[in-house]
Structures are given as C-alpha cells and as structure tokens.
Structure 1
Amino acid sequence: MSGEELVLRSTRVITPEGTRAASVVVSDGTIVAVRAHDAAVSTHARVEDFGDDALLPGLVDTHVHVNDPGRTEWEGFWTATRAAAAGGITTLVDMPLNSLPPTTTVANLRTKKDVAAAKAHIDVGFWGGALPDNVKDLRPLHDAGVFGFKCFLSPSGVDEFPELTQDQLAVSMGEIAGFGGLLIVHAEDPHELAAAPARSGPRYADFLDSRPRVSEDTAIEGLIAVAKRIGARVHILHLSSSDALPLIAAAKREGVRLTVETCPHYLTLTAEEVPDGASEFKCCPPIREAANQDQLWQALADGTIDCVVTDHSPSTADLKTADFATAWGGISGLQLSLPAVWTAARARGYGLEDVVRWMSTRTAELVGLEDRKGAIEAGRDADFTVLAPDETFTVDPARLQHRNRVTAYAGKTLSGVVKSTWLRGQRIVSDGEFSAPAGRLLERKN
C-alpha cells in the first residue's frame, strides 16, 4: 500500500486463536496488527468492512499442475492463477510435470519462471522433479529455490517424467535427505496395478477395480520403510485409500518424518455417484466409496492426514473420453476447492477454522512459508479470502476460469461464495472482476 494503512473488518475473522470480530491492519502489504473490531483507526486509513462475511487467510495450494510451457492448451499460468484467485487461493506451488520441459534441471526451472513471471495473478512457487537420471540435478535445483521434489512409483502418464524403481527411490531419497530437502511421492505400486483387472470401456466400476486400494497401501508401506531407514522427510500425495491410514498413523507415532495430503474430490465425491462414461471424475488414485471417504474425514480430524490440496490436473476436453481406461486422469478443482470442502465439512460438523488449518496453515507449513502465509496474524503477508459461508451457488462450468471448463462439480449446489481475494493488501478479484497480474515468484528459504 506504499505506506498507506488499510483496515479490513469482519465479525468473523479466522485467526490462529479462533474466530472473532476484529479489525486487521495492513501496511506495505503486511499484516501489522489484529485489533478489536471497533478499534480506532488512523485518519489516513482506508476501511473495508465485510460485515458478517468471513475473513480467512488466503489459501495455499501446494499441488497444482499448470502445464505451462509446453501444454498450454491444457492450462497456463494466466488461467490457472485466475481460477485460483477466484477460489480464494493466493499461493500455489506448481508441479514439475505436464509442462514441457519438466522442472528437472535448473535451466528448465528458469524457463518455467520466465513464462510464469508476467502471468501470475497470485504468488507461485515450484516443485522440482526426481527422475531416474537426474540425481546430479537435485541439489542445484534445491539451491535454486524449489520447495522439494516429486517422484512417481508407477507410470506418470507422460513419457518425459518416468517413475523411480525402489532402488532409484532410495538413491534419490538419500540425496535429498543429505541436503535437508523434501521428497513428495505419488504412491501407487506398479506391480499391484499390473496385477489388477484392466478393462476398457465406460464403466466406472471397472476403472475402480484397475486402481485398487492395495496399490496405494503397498507403495506407502514400502515408502515408509525407506524413509525410516534413511531418516528422510517424505510427503504422500493425494491419498485416497483409507486402508493405508493405520500404516501412516503408526509411522508418525514412530517418529518417521511423514506428512500426508488428500484432495477435495476424495472428500466430497464418491464412487457410487460417478456415472458411467463420465471421465471428468477420473483421477489416479481414484475417487473411492462413501465408507472410504468417511475414514478420510476422520483422519483429517485426528491429524493422520495433514492437509487438503486440489491436485488440479486439467486437460483439453477431447482427452476426457467416455472410456475410463484411456481418458486423461485429472480433476480440475482450483476455483471450487474451498466451497466444495466447506460444503462437506460443515455438513459433518466442522468449522471454517478447520478448513483454514487444512487448506492454508498446514500447506504453508509443508513448504516452509509459515512465516509469511497461512494465517491472519501480525508479520504475515496480507493475503485474504472474503467468504460468504452461508450463501450457496450452483456450479456452472461456463463461469469457471481454468482454460478447459470441464468439472466433476457441474450442476452441484455448493455453500460458500468467495466475494473477494486479496494479495499483499491489494484486492485482486472481486465479484468476478480481476486486477492485473500481481503475483510474485516464490523460492524456498535457505
């Protein structure tokens, strides 16, 4: 704000100490104080009073496939970050694959940054990739500021990002642990997948059978064993199998440096409701049954699962064919993640404080941004989401901002309307109107 004071008021400000009526004072893009709702303000201050709309910290989404450059017909930084801003997300971390080139060398990271710099409506960070042949590139990428390294234990779906064998996993994990980095893992076991029944066609039940829970469970069990032996810090991506939860809980009790995420689609959609041929619901690992979903919610509540991220993984509409075996697997969720999770959370008795913990505070902690992001308190960036939690809307794909307006939520009525989104004290979207791109490119702190 160039020194000019801004005061944001709400009767429902979500702070680390709880929800309360408050005035949040902002100067030079940073929160400088959280005061009483009726506190006196400077005569030079601009006051924005949101009434009973809730003031949340901007969400931090650490699992987004932007696909830019190289597959920009699927998505791009301009459209992805607009969708994120429209959904109350003020920071995202971009996955290293589906872009061309993938983020697996410092030169490739530089290429991606050059593309993102002028297009980002919100703050953007980057994951690096761990491949069979790039162990030598991991430390340079770490030194260049990536937040960690993604690997697959089964085929990724794109040829330029091959999976790691168990031996290669141990080598990469050891290298990353050596410089204190974070390895994030798509955990499905290739042998279990190969042994599962594989049928083409439109039946969702056939697709679900082809990605059984045991593929996740086996991969996670092996991953935990390697992480325990090496002493590495490891994060499990997009958990969908509730059968793996006892393994995860036991590992955490034993002191394994393990964190876990799940996604809105696993928490809000069920296998029982997926129509045959509707591959907008296809993702890997898959959306599972309602009983499985209940266990994921319980694991969020007790801390076995740490956080919720979108795994926004779009494609062009033509790749979403009616054949579940060949359709692209990925859910486009940036704009709808907050209302989708809030709708389901409130129905189960959770509050906005829980949603903020899962989708902002803990995700900021995962990538080491907890000094700037993830909470409304003095010293943090003035990133906010203004949410009308009791208002509802029906999802119209034509109103979505991501490039290909395919969504598994089409026609669903959701609670929670994002009224405006703020980045470092600047309103970047309000009632569907966007400002010019104001996002910054973020690097991991040394």
Structure 2
Amino acid sequence: MSENNKRFPYSLDLASSLTAMALIIGFMYVTQSLLLPLLFSILISISLFPLAQFFERLRLGKAFASILAVIVAIAVISSIGWFIVHQSIIIGQDASSITEKVLSVLERAQVWIEETFGIQRSQVAEHLREQGNKLLANAGSMATATFGSIGNILAGAILVPLFSFFLLYYRDFFREFFFKAFKSVPQAKVDDTLNKIYQVVQSYLLGLVMVMGIVAVLNTIGLMMMGIDYAWFFGSLAALLMLLPYIGIAIGSILPALFALAVKDNALYAVGVIAWFQVVQFLEGNVITPNIVGSKVSINPLMAMIAMLLGGMLFGIAGLVIALPLTATIKVIFDAVPSMQAFGFLIGEPEKEHLKRNSTQELMMKWGIVRKPKTTSKIEIDVNIDTTIAPETIHVNYKEINESEENPYTNITPADKPQEDQTTGENNAK
C-alpha cells in the first residue's frame, strides 16, 4: 500500500490536533499550582544556559556550573527586590508630609465635585462608607486569597531554583527523551525544533532584559527633568512592569503620576509624567524592541493580546508574564506539525505582501482564484507619418492586445508583420 493511502484525511488530523490542544489547556488549568513553577523554571533555565556553559568552560563540572548559574540568578533577583523594598521604606518615612498633601488634593477634589455636580460631601462620605462595608464583608475571602497567594509565592521561591538547577543539569537527558518520544519523526527535525524553541525563548528573555534596562534609564531621565523625587525608583519600577507586555509601562506611570500630584503644587506635573511614559512606551514598541529582539519572536499584536487574555484567565498575573514566550514556543511547535502549520502562520507576523495596497489582488493570483496574465510584456507600436504629404485628417488603425492575451508577434520579425491590423479603435490626429 502506498504512503498516501496510509495517511489520514486532513480534517481528521486537524480535529485530533485541536482536541489534543484543548485537553492540554484543561490539564494546564487543573495542575497550575505545579505547572507555573515549572514553566518559570524552564524560562529561567533557558536564560541561564549561556552562563552555565561559561562556567563549564572553566572546567567547574556540569553540576557545580548549574548551581553557580542559579545562585547568580537568585542574587540578581534578590538585589532587585531589596532595591524596591528599600526605596519603599525611604518613601514611607516621608509619609506624613505626603499624606497632608494628599488630603489637601482630596479636599480640592471634593470642592470641585460639589461645585460641578452638586453632590454634597455627606453623600460622598456615605458612598465611601458603603463601599468600605462591602470591602469588610469580603475581607475573609480576600485574606484567604492573600495568604494563599503568599503560600504559592513561598512555594515557588523554593521550587523554582530547584527546578531550574535540575533542568540545567539534566538538559541532555531531557533532549534524549524527546528523541525517544518522537521516534516516528526524523530526529534531525526534532533537534531543529528544540533548537528553534531555545533560540526564540532566549531571544525574547535576553532582549526583554535589555529593553527593560533602556526603558528604566529613559523613564528616570524624564522624571529627573521634571524634578520628581525618587526618579530611579519609579523609573525602574515601571520598567519591571514591562513583564506585563503592552500594559506594563502604562500601569507603571500611574504611581509616579499620583506621587507628583501629591508633592507638586501643579497638576501639570502628573500630566507630564503620564505623557512622558507614553512617549517611552511608543519608542519601546516601535523602535527599541524591534531593533533588539528583532523578528525571532514573530507574534502579531492581535494574537499577542489574545494570548495574554487567555494566560490571565488560566494563571492570573503569572499568566500575563509567561503568555508571550509560551505563545512563541507554541508557534514553533505548530510550524513543525503539518496539520497545525496554518495556525502557526496565523500566530506569526504578516509579511510585507499582506500589507501592500494591492495585496488582495496578489493574494487571489497566488492561490489561483484570479488568472495570472500569460505575458507581462507590453506591446509597443511605432507609427511613422510623413507630414509633408499628409492629408488634413490622418486615420491611424491599431489593435489593442490585453496583457493577459497571447502576443501574436512574439517570434515574428518586424518585416514579417502584416501591414494592416484589424481596427478596434481609432485615433484622430491633426
């Protein structure tokens, strides 16, 4: 029996692939308490792989090199956490003066509401009291969720370093697992797919770190120019929030804007902070990230936003952080599976031919919906007129040949052409 007869119909392959994907998503949702630390560990181990290789070249041994790489990562993350906590404590020491200015701002806001909308202060206070009672009624569930989140964070703080170490130390062991698991697929294709996943994820993570550093500097420069205190803290905090793509910088601009509104006498400072952060976000999305990350992480913005929404639905804030690298990995896998290549194409960036003015016509011709022209060469007709003996009116007979038609004079010399053509149009010249 031939190989074509053994293959299943495309519709059956597609249905089985979609069913498997749905089952995988359901499994991820059920096992998220274990899966989230594992996914973060995979991302961290991929980013630490060059550092582990560097230590191995120093003849430190694979186990010791992996431990050192994880320790370096812990030291960097701990330093960032200490910086945020330390600056928060310093800002908290000035809480009394800031509180007075915040209260004066609230007083002015109440006066403006009363004059503009005619709402009395007692009504505003009553509304705030109602909202406070609602919050107190839900305090138990909020406390339970908070302590549960703290427990998950502490568990992740222990599991992620351990998982990262074993993923670095056993990396060749896991690679052979994929060779064994996909014996029916050419091993070179399996190896190429694994390498592409590594390159895509590493390009995204290392590029993100570089972009965050540049954005932190730009944020800080803008805040310093406006005279906002603690500029490094607010600028770096907004850059760290870039772990939430597309919305991180916008969220990070709220805190320094509120701080500027509290400590400055003019509200234009807060407007200036938000405006500057939006400028930085524009530069990051259109100039900085494309030139640093490049086209290796080719996910179109629409699919990126959908992936973030799905990640948030599945895993909360952690899902927003891992949405893009996970989607980039899924795209590589889809490109390697014949029945899912169309979905890999859908996730990727559109090519230039899809964005041109006449892209629809070219697309129709590409897929055979519109017939392509048989010849693309145009026919030139030379008309020589002796004006010395020409009558008052000259009739020139010619035949128009559409570009999609065959040229009857392709292999005929000019001397062999007939002297008169059938008239399909008439041009009068005087």
Greater relative contact order (Cα < 8 A, sep 6+)? 1
**What TM-score do the two structures reach when normalised by structure 2?**
0.22
More helix by proportion, 1 or 2? 2
**What TM-score do the two structures reach when normalised by structure 1?**
0.22
